[in-house]
């Protein structure tokens, strides 16, 4: 029968028979991971919208009092949404508050990858997001105490969420067959775009009809529900999963048996830190995130202070760029695996091609957005295209860690994400320092900086990126798909 054939393939070292995707444990993990990243990013970005309503600079109708472009008309707000406090924070303080999350986020990247490999990723990832949920629920109290307390809470949120990507990569090292990596990981990580897409407009609606404090309470409850499901339904590896079929278990383990090595606690730190393919991912990840975090944290501010959109319009328009990003990420994952499995393109060619499109495209359109003036349709269109094209990198450098060193994927992701967190720490601060007067010319400078960094990262990764398992990553190195 099929199970015996799969077992025979495993024992003989032959390619394993596939297992159905429908109702499978690996795709179940991918969907629940998607929900987890939805929560993580919803908790990360909701402050960007709430910040517009937390500041003492709006009139009773909800329109922005000062913007470069004419303010858009907005319906009068219900009277009961004026109960929350507002604060007199200048642009510099706003930049520090928006960037403070990443000061905690960077601290747990490498420890997260190491701990996930040593002890398992399930509880590390679950408790990390749960910690973020708890501090999100405390955000209104911290804001009332002062900007310093809010910054401290956001740093603690970042510490909890910092383990998510390294832990998830470490888990996929055991769960993702090589020829399904792009599909499985893009489904999982698309939760980040979905969280952004839902959180931005929903936060705006919550601010409009209730008040900004409910933004943090509602998304906190959604996070608690995810943690309960994660604790009950997820296992660290296929071999410890109580509901996986034998066919699927053998399919996954046999497809990975030549790539994984878990020999004790030895980690080849010297080889890892001197690996040029890893540094290619580092540079690409840093460069891409500069543009991504600039838009993620400051797009609602740009919509309000420059384009003159009200709080109710702001969230929906700020979310629009991430709808396309999520769609292209999922479609790109399907295409990437199809090109590797059916068209026999080398892994390195696919990763580099997807990275080039996903980095050069956003650079071109973010610069173009700066020259649209008060043409709201073009501005929103160009920003949407910029972010949408960025979704393609989900099948490029973003999962290249699993190609070059699956056994140490969590640690590698921790290293690259540590560097890639720096733009989130300094990007909003630099951008707000450059846009004190909120002129279009100042924002053009911000967009030019983002585009230039993106282009550099694309070129560097194209020159030095690799798609094969590195010799230091296994005792007997084998590549899959080259």
pLDDT at 199 over 80: yes
The encoded tokens of residue 129 equal 């997001």
Contact between residue 458 and residue 281 where contact means Cβ atoms under 8 Å apart: no
8 Å CB contact between 393 and 355: yes
Output the average pLDDT for the chain.
84
Residue 478 belongs to a domain: no
Mapping DSSP to helix (H, G, I), strand (E, B) and coil, where does residue 347 land?
Answer: helix
- At residue 262 the predicted structure's pLDDT band, cuts being 50, 70 and 90, is low
DSSP assignments along 372-420, one per residue: -TT-HHHHHHHHHHHHHHHGGGGGTGGGHHHHH-GGGHHHHHHHHHHHH
Confidence of residue 4 (pLDDT cuts 50, 70, 90): very low
Residue 99 has pLDDT above 70, yes or no: yes
Residue 146 falls in which region: left (phi positive, over 0), alpha (psi -120 to 50) or beta: left
Q: Please, is 270 exposed, middle or buried when counting C-beta atoms within 10 Å of its C-beta (0-12, 13-18, 19+)?
A: exposed
Mean pLDDT across 261-278? 82
Q: Which span out of 138-142, 189-193, 334-338 was modeled with the highest average pLDDT?
A: 138-142
**Tell me, what's the pLDDT at 475?**
57
Look at residue 15 in the predicted model and tell me its pLDDT.
44
- The three-state secondary structure class of 87 is strand
Q: What gap in Å lies between CA 165 and CA 113, rounded to an integer?
A: 8
CA–CA gap between residue 331 and residue 114 (Å, rounded): 31
> Residues 12-69: pLDDT tens digits?
444 445 777 778 899 999 999 999 999 999 998 888 888 888 888 644 344 444 677 7
Instruction: Indicate whether 479 belongs to any domain.
Output: no
* pLDDT given at position 356: 95
- Distances in Å between the Cα of 10 and the Cα atoms of 35, 168, 190, 383 are 33, 26, 32, 49
Mean per-residue pLDDT for 357-369? 93
Indicate if the pLDDT at residue 213 is higher than 60.
yes
Instruction: Report how far Cα 28 is from the mean position of its chain's Cα atoms.
Output: 20
300-309 tens-digit pLDDT: 778 777 887 7
Mean pLDDT across 221-230:
96
Q: Is residue 84 part of a domain?
A: no
Closest C-alpha to 97, from 317, 301, 304: 301
DSSP string, 56-85: S-B-TTS-BSS-SSPPPP-PPPPGGGG-S-
CATH number of domain containing 197: 1.20.1250.20
For residue 77, what pLDDT is reported? 61
Q: How far apart are CA 36 and CA 164, in angstroms?
A: 9
- Return the residue matching tokens 């399930």: 122
The pLDDT of residue 225 is above 80: yes
Torsion over CA: 156, 162, 164, 167 (sign): negative
Interval 366-384: pLDDT, tens? 999 889 888 888 888 888 8
Between 43 and 435, residue with greater pLDDT: 43
The beta strands (E) that lie in 143-289 are given as none
Range of the domain at 318: 28-72+89-241+265-473
Q: Is the pLDDT of residue 200 over 70?
A: yes
The predicted pLDDT at position 409 comes to 86
Taking residues 258-268, report their average pLDDT.
Answer: 65
Burial of 346 (0-12, 13-18, 19+ CB in 10 A): middle
Q: Within 10 A of 436 (CB to CB), how many other CB atoms are there?
A: 11
Neighbouring C-alpha atoms within 13 Å toward the C-beta of 49: 35
Residue 6 lies in a domain: no
Judge whether 137 lies within some domain.
yes
Token output for 345: 């393109």
Give the global pTM. Answer: 0.76
> Rounded to the nearest 5°, which phi and psi values hold at 199?
-65, -40
Give the C-alpha separation, 358 to 367, whole Å. 15
Provide the Cα torsion 249, 250, 252, 257; round to 10°: 130
User: Which residues are bridge partners to 87 per DSSP?
Assistant: 55
Query: pLDDT tens digits, residue range 136-163?
Result: 999 999 999 999 999 999 999 999 999 9
What SS3 class is residue 138?
coil
Instruction: Indicate the number of domains in the chain.
Output: 1
Lowest mean per-residue pLDDT among 71-75, 90-94, 185-189, 361-365: 71-75
Write down how long the chain is: 482
Q: What angle do CA 285, 286, 292 make, to 5 degrees?
A: 85
Closest CA to 215 of 226, 204, 228: 204
For the beta carbon of residue 243, count every other beta carbon within 10 angstroms. Answer: 8
Please write the tens of the pLDDT for every residue from 391-420.
899 899 998 998 999 889 889 989 998 999
End-to-end Cα spacing for the chain: 32
Q: What is the pLDDT of residue 473?
A: 87
| pLDDT at res. 412 | 92
pLDDT at 358 (0 to 100): 94
Query: Cα-flanking dihedrals φ and ψ of residue 87, to 5°?
Result: -135, 150
Is 289 in contact with 39 (CB distance < 8 Å)?
no
pLDDT above 70 as % of the chain: 87
What is the pLDDT confidence band of residue 80, given thresholds at 50, 70 and 90? low
How many whole angstroms separate alpha carbon 431 and alpha carbon 415?
Answer: 25
pLDDT at 359 over 90: yes
Q: What is the mean pLDDT of residues 87-116?
A: 87
pLDDT of residue 63: 42
pLDDT band at 92 (very low <50, low <70, confident <90, very high): confident
147 near 97, Cβ under 8 Å?
Answer: yes
């Amino acid at each position: 029968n099929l199970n015996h054939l799969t077992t025979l393939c495993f024992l003989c070292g032959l390619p394993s028979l596939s297992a159905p995707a429908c109702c499978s444990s690996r795709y179940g993990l991918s969907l629940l991971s998607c929900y987890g990243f939805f929560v993580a990013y919803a908790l990360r970005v909701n402050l960007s919208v709430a910040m517009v309503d937390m500041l003492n600079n709006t009139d009773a109708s909800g329109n922005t009092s000062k913007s470069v472009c004419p303010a858009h008309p907005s319906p009068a707000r219900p009277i009961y949404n004026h109960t929350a406090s507002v604060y007199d924070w200048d642009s510099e303080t706003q930049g520090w508050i928006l960037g403070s999350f990443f000061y905690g986020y960077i601290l747990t990247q490498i420890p997260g990858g190491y701990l996930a490999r040593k002890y398992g990723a399930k509880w590390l990832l679950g408790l990390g997001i749960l910690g973020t949920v708890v501090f999100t629920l405390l955000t209104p109290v911290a804001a009332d105490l002062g900007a310093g307390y809010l910054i401290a809470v956001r740093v603690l949120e970042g510490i909890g969420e910092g383990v998510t990507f390294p832990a998830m990569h470490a888990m996929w090292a055991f769960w993702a067959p090589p020829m399904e990596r792009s599909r499985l990981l893009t489904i999982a990580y698309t939760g980040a775009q979905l969280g952004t897409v839902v959180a931005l407009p929903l936060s705006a609606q919550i601010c409009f009809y209730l008040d900004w404090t409910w933004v943090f309470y509602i998304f906190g409850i959604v996070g608690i529900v995810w943690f309960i499901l994660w604790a009950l339904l997820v296992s660290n590896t296929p071999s410890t999963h109580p509901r996986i079929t034998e066919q699927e278990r053998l399919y996954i383990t046999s497809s990975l048996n030549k790539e994984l090595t878990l020999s004790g606690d030895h980690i080849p730190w010297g080889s890892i830190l001197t690996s040029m393919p890893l540094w290619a991912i580092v540079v690409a990840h840093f460069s891409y995130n500069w543009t991504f975090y600039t838009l993620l944290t400051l797009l609602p501010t740009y919509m309000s202070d420059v384009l003159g959109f009200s709080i109710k319009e702001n969230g929906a328009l700020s979310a629009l760029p991430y709808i396309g990003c999520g769609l292209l990420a999922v479609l790109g994952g399907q295409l990437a695996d199809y090109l590797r499995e059916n068209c026999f393109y080398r892994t390195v060619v696919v990763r580099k091609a997807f990275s080039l499109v996903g980095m050069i495209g956003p650079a071109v359109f973010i610069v173009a957005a700066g020259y649209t003036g008060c043409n709201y349709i073009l501005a929103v269109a160009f920003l949407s295209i910029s972010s949408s094209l960025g979704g393609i990198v989900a099948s490029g450098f973003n999962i290249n860690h699993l190609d070059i060193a699956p056994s140490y994927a969590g640690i590698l992701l921790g290293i690259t994400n540590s560097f890639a967190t720096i733009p989130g720490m300094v990007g909003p601060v630099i951008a707000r320092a450059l846009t004190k007067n909120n002129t279009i010319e100042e924002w053009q400078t911000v967009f030019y900086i983002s585009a230039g960094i993106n282009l550099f990262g694309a070129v560097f990764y194209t020159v030095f990126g690799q798609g094969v398992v590195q010799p230091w990553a296994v005792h007997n190195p084998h590549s899959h798909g080259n």
